[in-house]
């Protein structure tokens, strides 16, 4: 039989097994993979009857499913290295914010940025992600806080999804921060969040809705209003909650069957007990804790309780300016005490389940998308033991090789800038 690609000489192939949340990982040794029309059509010990246009020799290395980064703030204007000095000198974030810095400076830069410059900047980030083995991401708006800029961010997501090999799930996050103009009229701002949601749904600009539910920003009631509206419109929910202080956001999110609750540094035992009964992704973001010198979310406790834990980068210009999901994975092992197998599930099958794509992405099996990576490690434990470098040498997305020997293969339809 003729196929597009055959991968031979795979030392070990690791893949999560369904059901999600069982944390089971299969290890296959000395196998070959046949890929045709973007799909995996065979994983067997010898595929001699398959004639391939391209044969990739894995040289005895490890093959894993492509990683899924389930929480990013991909599209934004500017960067904040000018605040780095202040941060290192211990100036509190709230003081930086008062001087017009922090999220406010990113909002201003994003408002002023052209679509072209946003595309160029985000495309570069996607290239970094791809080299680190990420083949699908979730990306939020949230640096406009007004109708036009929020839509501009989502439109950039849409264009990138069409042109870059990485698949992008878009989330509408106008309720990321309260604009100064609405300082004394928060309800009116939430009204505008709800009003814009209808058109966004109609224009298919986002599949999910998010709100930053934290003390002094948006509260339980605001979260409830956003969840209610999103549910009515058939948009799924992914909620920022319990990062700084638990104020009830997690309970509300779970009541509305959110697909994901994110951060969870301060999640209570009661809320863990509620979350374990659901298929909501408990998405922890350890790179943010690292960058802000904050405690780490109790991921070990959540896995032990039976929650579906995810690990994501939270890539953003303020609290985690890094696209490197592998670093988050290392922190999940070293600082949160998760095992390599648990973390593999947390960056593949679990986020795929929460994004509703687990019927074709998130594991390696016949009939699944050929989204996979080759890592220059002898086994899965080594991937986590040897930290701080990029282990990924080759990336196949939708059955096409997009990274070869650590170099991006750029096709016409890939490069935007
Ligand atoms: Zn975030």
Tens of pLDDT, residue by residue over 307-359, are: 999 999 999 999 999 999 999 999 999 999 999 999 999 999 999 999 999 99
Which of 354, 380, 399 is the last residue in one of the domains?
354
Residue 305 domain-assigned (yes or no) = yes
How far is it, in rounded angstroms, from Cα 259 to Cα 261? 7
Indicate whether 303 and 390 sit together in one domain: no
Indicate whether 56 and 71 sit together in one domain: no
Place of tokens 């986002």: 206
**How buried is 269 (Cβ within 10 angstroms: 0-12 exposed, 13-18 middle, 19+ buried)?**
exposed
Residue 415 domain-assigned (yes or no) = no
Q: How many other C-beta atoms can be found within 10 angstroms of the C-beta atom of residue 400?
A: 17
- Beta strand 281-284 with 67-72 is unpaired
Q: How many other C-beta atoms can be found within 10 angstroms of the C-beta atom of residue 185?
A: 11
Instruction: Tell me the CA–centroid distance for residue 405 and ligand 1, in Å.
Output: 32
Instruction: Tell me the CA–centroid distance for residue 263 and ligand 1, in Å.
Output: 8
Residue stretches of the chain with pLDDT short of 50: 415, 417
Instruction: Tell me the CA–centroid distance for residue 392 and ligand 1, in Å.
Output: 25
How far is it, in rounded angstroms, from Cα 248 to Cα 268? 10
Concatenated DSSP letters for 39-106? EEEEEES--TT-EEEEEEE-TT-EEEEPEEEEEE----SS--GGGHHHHHTT--HHHHHHTT-THHHH
Indicate whether 48 and 79 sit together in one domain: no
Q: How many domains does the chain fold into?
A: 2
Show Cβ contacts of residue 342 under 8 Å, excluding neighbours closer than 6 positions. Answer: 23, 303, 309
CATH number of the domain bearing residue 164: 3.20.20.140
How far is it, in rounded angstroms, from Cα 219 to Cα 207? 23
CATH number of the domain bearing residue 39: 2.30.40.10
Instruction: Tell me the CA–centroid distance for residue 264 and ligand 1, in Å.
Output: 11
Which of 311, 326, 354 is the last residue in one of the domains?
354
Indicate whether 191 and 246 sit together in one domain: yes
**Which helix (H) or strand (E) element contains residue 15?**
strand 2-16
How far is it, in rounded angstroms, from Cα 178 to Cα 186? 7
Place of tokens 């089971």: 24
Instruction: Tell me the CA–centroid distance for residue 211 and ligand 1, in Å.
Output: 10
Indicate whether 400 and 268 sit together in one domain: no
Instruction: Tell me the CA–centroid distance for residue 305 and ligand 1, in Å.
Output: 24
Angle at 100 between CA 94 and CA 102, to 5 degrees: 55
Indicate whether 43 and 75 sit together in one domain: no
The confidence score (pLDDT) of residue 416 equals 53
- Beta strand 281-284 with 308-311 is parallel
Instruction: Tell me the CA–centroid distance for residue 242 and ligand 1, in Å.
Output: 12
Place of tokens 């202080």: 245
Q: Which of 264, 406, 383 is nearest to 330 (CA)?
A: 383
Q: Which of 254, 295, 256 is nearest to 276 (CA)?
A: 254
How far is it, in rounded angstroms, from Cα 35 to Cα 13? 15
The confidence score (pLDDT) of residue 95 equals 84
Indicate whether 181 and 81 sit together in one domain: yes
Indicate whether 60 and 90 sit together in one domain: no
Instruction: Tell me the CA–centroid distance for residue 288 and ligand 1, in Å.
Output: 9
Q: Which of 93, 135, 96, 58 is nearest to 363 (CA)?
A: 135
Domain assignment of residue 50, given as a range: 2-66+363-407
How far is it, in rounded angstroms, from Cα 113 to Cα 77? 6
Indicate whether 274 and 260 sit together in one domain: yes
Instruction: Tell me the CA–centroid distance for residue 142 and ligand 1, in Å.
Output: 9
**Which helix (H) or strand (E) element contains residue 270?**
helix 269-275
Q: Near ion ligand 1, which residues have CB within 5 Å? A: 314
Instruction: Tell me the CA–centroid distance for residue 107 and ligand 1, in Å.
Output: 14
Indicate whether 27 and 81 sit together in one domain: no
Model's pTM, two decimal places? 0.97
Indicate whether 78 and 61 sit together in one domain: no
How far is it, in rounded angstroms, from Cα 362 to Cα 167? 13
Cβ contact 208:138 at 8 Å:
yes
Indicate whether 247 and 330 sit together in one domain: yes
Residue 413 domain-assigned (yes or no) = no
Instruction: Tell me the CA–centroid distance for residue 71 and ligand 1, in Å.
Output: 6
Instruction: Tell me the CA–centroid distance for residue 397 and ligand 1, in Å.
Output: 26
Which of 354, 379, 396 is the last residue in one of the domains?
354
Instruction: Tell me the CA–centroid distance for residue 249 and ligand 1, in Å.
Output: 15
Residue 412 domain-assigned (yes or no) = no
The single-letter DSSP state of residue 318 is: T
Show Cβ contacts of residue 313 under 8 Å, excluding neighbours closer than 6 positions. Answer: 69, 71, 72, 285, 287, 320, 322, 323, 324, 325, 327, 328
Residue 390 domain-assigned (yes or no) = yes
The confidence score (pLDDT) of residue 412 equals 55
The confidence score (pLDDT) of residue 296 equals 98
Residue 417 domain-assigned (yes or no) = no
């Amino acid at each position: 039989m003729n196929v597009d690609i055959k991968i031979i000489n795979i030392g070990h192939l690791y893949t999560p097994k369904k059901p999600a949340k069982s944390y089971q990982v299969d290890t296959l040794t000395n196998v070959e993979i046949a890929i045709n029309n973007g799909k995996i059509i065979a994983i067997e010990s010898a595929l001699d009857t398959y004639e391939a246009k391209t044969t990739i020799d894995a040289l005895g290395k490890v093959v894993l499913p492509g990683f899924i980064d389930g929480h990013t703030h991909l599209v934004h204007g500017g960067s904040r290295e000018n605040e780095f000095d202040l941060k290192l000198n211990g100036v509190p974030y709230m003081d930086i914010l008062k001087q017009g810095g922090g999220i406010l400076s990113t909002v201003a830069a994003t408002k002023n940025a052209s679509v072209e410059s946003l595309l160029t900047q985000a495309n570069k980030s996607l290239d970094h992600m791809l080299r680190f083995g990420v083949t699908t991401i979730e990306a939020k708006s949230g640096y406009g806080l007004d109708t036009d800029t929020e839509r501009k961010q989502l439109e950039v997501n849409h264009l990138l999804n069409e042109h870059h090999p990485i698949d992008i799930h878009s989330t509408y996050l106008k309720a990321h921060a309260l604009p100064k103009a609405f300082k004394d009229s928060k309800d009116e701002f939430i009204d505008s969040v709800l009003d814009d949601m209808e058109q966004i749904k109609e224009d298919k600009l986002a599949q999910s809705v998010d709100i930053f539910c934290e003390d002094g920003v948006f509260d339980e009631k605001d979260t409830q209003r956003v969840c209610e509206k999103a549910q009515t419109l058939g948009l799924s929910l992914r909620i920022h909650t319990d990062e700084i202080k638990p104020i009830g956001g997690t309970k509300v999110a779970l009541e509305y069957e959110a697909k994901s609750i994110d951060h969870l540094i301060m999640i209570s035992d009661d809320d863990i007990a509620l979350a374990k009964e659901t298929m909501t992704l408990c998405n922890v973001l350890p790179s943010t804790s690292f960058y802000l010198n904050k405690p780490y979310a109790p991921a070990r406790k959540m896995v032990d309780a039976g929650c579906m834990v995810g690990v994501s980068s939270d890539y953003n210009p303020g609290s985690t300016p890094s696209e490197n999901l592998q670093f988050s994975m290392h922190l999940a092992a070293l600082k949160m005490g998760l095992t390599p197998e648990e973390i593999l599930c947390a960056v593949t099958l679990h986020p795929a389940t929460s994004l509703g794509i687990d019927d074709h992405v998130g594991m390696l099996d016949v009939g699944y998308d050929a989204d996979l990576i080759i890592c220059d490690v002898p086994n899965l434990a080594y991937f986590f033991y040897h930290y701080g470098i990029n282990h990924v040498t080759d990336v196949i997305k939708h059955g096409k090789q997009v990274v070869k020997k650590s170099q991006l293969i750029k096709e016409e339809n890939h490069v935007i800038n």
